[in-house]
Amino acid sequence: MRLEALDDRGERAGPVHRLDARSKLLFAVAFVIAVVATPIGQWRILGCLGFLLALLVGISGASVRSLLLRWAGFAVLVSLLAVMVAPGLPARAQHGLGTVILSIVAKNSLAFLMMLVLAKVTSWRDLLQAMLRLGVPRVLVATLQFMERYLHVLGDELARMSLARRARSFRRGSILSWRLLTGMLGMLLLRSFDRAERVHSAMIARGWDGTFHSLD
Amino acid sequence: MHIPDAVLDPRVAAITGVMGAAGLYYGLKAVEGQLKERTTSLMGMMSAFIFAAQMVNFPVGPGVSGHLLGGVLAGVMLGPWAGAVVIAAVLIVQCFLFGDGGLTALGANFVNMGLIGSVVGYAIHAPIRRWIGGQRGILIAAMIAAWFTVLLAAGACAVELSASGHRQDFFRILSWMALVHAVIGLGEAMITGLVVRFILLTRPDLIDQDPPRGLEPVVAGGNPSRRWLPTILSGLGVALGVAVFLSPLASELPDGLEFVGQKIGVLADGSPSSPIPVPMPDYQLPLPRLEHVKAATAVAGLVGTLVVFAVSWGLGRAFVTAGPRSERVTTDAA
């Protein structure tokens, strides 16, 4: 399941893993903004940024294969979107349609890979702490922290329900499976509600005051 | 629906980023004011639920499957702003952990899926629900809202994608987006409707009351008839905001396509509104004519609306035959 991507980090601690999360976050944001703001057709700037990214991937020790695999699936979608958007862009008059499409795809790839690298070298907890210190509202950060914690729990719950459903039903006609699947979602929704209530009571009992405390 | 990085014009990304941040800030304040210290657990858990629910794939046809987007479902269960906050949390996790949706497009994605999906969705939901009344009203209103929010989000997406281009491009992109999303919207309406129906049949107390359960503490004393008016106004505000803030960009560059045409000497005598019958392979993509797409889009929109209404009416029959219990709950709610 996609959730595996959440567990995939922090084990292979390299030099970039140990850097302060705030600087990594700011660097990634600055990099993405620089990439996006680069005018179409400025291949030299994009090349420099790409070189920087490659250097970063090399130092961080992120698996190039998994990055490229993730990118390849995504690039197809972006290309389609670029083909749809590019004919209307004013820059087309200067550079021609092909260059515009290629620049959009290249710029997107750089930004996309940067975000993946950031996620690979920074744990979600560190990233949230960094956001908090950089001024993102406390409620939002706490909610995101809570959400990540219970993503796994609800994911497991969903897997159990799906196993139970498969164990009890013989065939999957399309109409039948729509009703079964929505029933499953509805059940998961009810259980999430109840779980939120129970967890909240438990948190209150332990002196919850609206923030997660951290040792870093 | 997730717009990736570098596809939007940087100015559009900046404007929608500001709009999204303002909307999220307001939403957080509103939710925190109502839920107090329950915000984190309820919002966090519901975000995790929507995220998990998006992983359940529904078979649509051979090799094609769709999944829930969840804006309207979250809005109906929790209230408009809480729903928007939930979607924001989902989008942030998707952006930072999976690269789904660009960092610079986060604002645009939140405007499309969170503000339009939940706040505008609730603004559509509330009056229809009140008008039809009862549990059946809740179901039908939820399905219609789900259908329209997907179309509206596609429209907003088209505005954002084409904001730096020519008006002709807006119609071209809008037509394609709307055509594709007419199908996606049907799926969203079906899934939302079936889930809401399940909840209404098992735990009607969760959504049957007017202030959604998570928001009881503050609104319990208010006048129920006035509660949905601010929602409708804020929904309209979001829709107008997209149009007002982004339209100057389009008119600033009045004739992108015509300019190109003159530049490469194709459109020398053509009027800008002509459908450009040019045999140049580089000039027009080998797609069906725009008129056909427009017509197909209009038909899809009409048929979709009728189908959604008919199906939701049919699904709602469960509550009419359920007998006196649903009647009693209805009068309590009203």
Query: pLDDT (tens digit, 9 = 90+) per residue, B104-129?
Result: 999 999 999 999 999 999 988 988 88
Confidence of residue B275 (pLDDT cuts 50, 70, 90): very low
* Start-to-end C-alpha separation, chain A: 31
Confidence of residue A30 (pLDDT cuts 50, 70, 90): very high
How many interface pairs between A and B have CB atoms less than 8 angstroms apart? 242
DSSP B111: I
CB contact under 8 A, A196 and B41: yes
CB contact under 8 A, A155 and B102: no
- Closest Cα in chain B, distance from residue A102 (Å): 11
Partners of B21 on chain A (C-beta within 8 Å) are none
Largest CA distance in chain A: 65
**Prediction ipTM score:** 0.89
Lowest mean pLDDT among A78-87, A119-128, A160-169, B311-320: B311-320
**Residue predicted with more confidence, B282 or B99:** B99
Average pLDDT over residues B129-158: 88
CB contact under 8 A, B68 and A115: no
Which residue in the set B4, B52, B198 is minimally distant from A183, CB to CB? B198
Cα–chain center distance at A186: 26
Which residue in the set B9, B49, B190 is minimally distant from A192, CB to CB? B49
Question: What is B10-215+287-333's CATH topology?
Answer: Arp2/3 complex 21 kDa subunit ARPC3 (1.10.1760)
CB contact under 8 A, A185 and B191: yes
Question: Are A112 and B4 contacting, i.e. CB atoms less than 8 angstroms apart?
Answer: yes
- Closest Cα in chain A, distance from residue B101 (Å): 9
Which residue in the set B7, B56, B88 is minimally distant from A85, CB to CB? B7
Partners of B49 on chain A (C-beta within 8 Å) are 154, 188-189, 192
| Mean pLDDT over each residue of chain A, to the nearest integer | 83
User: What six digits make up the tokens of A135?
Assistant: 């001024």
- Closest Cα in chain B, distance from residue A43 (Å): 15
Q: Is the pLDDT reported for residue B262 higher than 60? A: no
Condensed to tens digits (0 to 9), the pLDDT of residues B70-89 reads: 899 999 988 889 999 999 99
CB contact under 8 A, B99 and A112: yes
Alpha helices (runs of H) in B210-280, residue ranges in sequence order: 216-219, 224-252, 256-263
| Mean pLDDT over each residue of chain B, to the nearest integer | 75
Surface of B (77-136) touching A: CB under 8 A: 77, 85, 88-89, 92-93, 95-99, 102-104
Residue among B1, B2, B5, B91 with most chain A CBs within 10 A, to mutate: B5
Single-letter code of the amino acid located at B51:
F
Condensed to tens digits (0 to 9), the pLDDT of residues A174-194 reads: 555 778 888 889 999 999 989
Distances (CA, A) of B287 to A125, B114, B281, B284, B291: 47, 32, 11, 8, 11
Cα–chain center distance at A162: 25
Condensed to tens digits (0 to 9), the pLDDT of residues B2-41 reads: 888 888 888 889 999 999 999 999 999 988 888 877 888 8
Question: What pTM was computed for the model?
Answer: 0.82
Distances (CA, A) of B208 to A17, B197, B328: 49, 11, 11
Residue among A2, A144, A147 with most chain B CBs within 10 A, to mutate: A147
Residues near A9 by Cβ (< 8 Å), separated by ≥ 6? Answer: A119, A120, A121, A122, A123, A124
Surface of B (255-294) touching A: CB under 8 A: 256-257, 259-260, 263-264, 282, 284-285
DSSP A39: P
Surface of B (22-61) touching A: CB under 8 A: 24-25, 28, 31-32, 37-49, 51-53, 55-56, 58-59
pLDDT given at position A91:
74
Chain B residue whose CA is closest to A179: B194
Chain A residue whose CA is closest to B187: A178
Q: Which of B212, B71, B46, B70 is nearest to A200 (CA)?
A: B46
Average pLDDT over residues A73-100: 81
Q: Is the pLDDT reported for residue B249 higher than 80? A: no
Chain B residue whose CA is closest to A86: B7
CB contact under 8 A, A36 and B203: no
Question: Are B320 and B199 contacting, i.e. CB atoms less than 8 angstroms apart?
Answer: no
Q: B58 pairs with which residues across the strands?
A: B66
Partners of A181 on chain B (C-beta within 8 Å) are 56, 58
Chain B residue whose CA is closest to A96: B282
Cα separation, B196 vs B146, whole angstroms: 11
CB contact under 8 A, B4 and A78: yes
Which residue in the set A92, A137, A149 is minimally distant from B260, CB to CB? A92
What proportions of chain B, in percent to the nearest 5, are helix, strand and coil? 75, 0, 20
What residues does each domain of chain B span?
Answer: 10-215+287-333
